Amino acid sequence: MQLVIDEIGPGAATPLQAVRLLAVYLSGGAGGKESAIRKLNELLADDAVGSNPILRLVAGTVLMHERDYAGALKHTNSGFPYLEGHVEPYMRQLSVSDVVTGPLQAFNGIEKVGHIVHVLRTTGHNGFPVVDEPPFSDSPVLFGLVLRAHLLVLLRKKDFIPNCSASALDASKQFLPHDFAKPGSGKHDRIEEIQFSAEELEMFVDLHPFTNTSPYTVVETMSLAKAHVLFREVGLRHLLVLPKSSKRAPVVGILTRHDFMPEHILGLHPFLFKTRWKKVRLASQHSPTSSSDAR
């Protein structure tokens, strides 16, 4: 540890400085740890270097040692929205429908290959509602949720059917459980890597056997604060939004982590930003510290 500390000078690049601070933290006593944490916080607050992935990884490691698990997760998931444990007060003023943005991308239970390929190539969504429509149901009805990863497995397998009719064979028998295992650190499937002939793009795939038929759902009138609690406590990635009226489409939106982020919500409803900071100022004015300063 001491060799690392001695060899890396204060003028070194940010990743090397981060490694040096980790060595200081791990080898030092209470004073060394406090010094390392203070310097890490200074670097993280610097707009020029604060987003450096090595710096954030080191910060996450240090915070894990400090048992600050929320802080560690926030830094090590840089670039990935981190959902805070508390509900922002302004969320109680909104319903789920206030943050749903479109257009919604959904698939039919038996969908054309070309349409699936187009949607996957033009969006980055990881989950899609599956809707059955006549003649497969009396009226449009939500069947469930299918994941992008599972769609890629189906497309790579190319177990297609020639026309838009209920498949005679049980398509799920053509696959093994490990075909849909969650990818580890290896290479993930990408739609750009799968080639299709013009004939294949005109064929169909039965999504029913590969769809989660019991996804979590909320009605569009639910409080956004309540939806936030459900989303975080259950550890969801997708939350389908259903209409209040049965006369509308069976699903009107899909919430992901992004939709609960303050920057997204305040971007849609900027008036809440003023309300948010007004409350902060009022609270600070009535705090004991502020009162003593005034005296």
What pLDDT band is residue 66 in, cutting at 50, 70 and 90?
confident
Which amino acid appears at position 71 of this protein?
A: G
Query: pLDDT tens for residues 89-99?
Result: 889 999 999 99
Fold classification of 103-213 (topology level): CBS-domain (3.10.580)
Peptide bond preceding 135 in cis form (omega within 30 of 0): yes
Write down the pLDDT at residue 44: 77
H helices then E strands: how many in the chain?
Answer: 12, 8
Domain spans, the chain: 2-76, 82-100+220-286, 103-213
Mean per-residue pLDDT over the chain, rounded: 81
What pLDDT band is residue 135 in, cutting at 50, 70 and 90?
confident
pLDDT (average), residues 141-165: 91
C-alpha dist (Å) from residue 176 to 14, 126, 273:
46, 22, 50
Separation of alpha carbons 50 and 41, rounded Å: 9
Write down the pLDDT at residue 147: 94
| Lookup: tokens for 92 | 């109680």
Lowest mean pLDDT among 110-119, 151-160, 261-270: 261-270
116: Cβ contacts below 8 Å, ≥ 6 apart: 107, 151, 155, 205
Write down the pLDDT at residue 282: 42
What pLDDT band is residue 27 in, cutting at 50, 70 and 90?
confident
C-alpha dist (Å) from residue 93 to 90, 102, 233, 265:
5, 21, 21, 12
Peptide bond preceding 262 in cis form (omega within 30 of 0): no
Query: pLDDT tens for residues 234-251?
Result: 989 999 999 999 889 999
End-to-end CA distance of the chain: 50
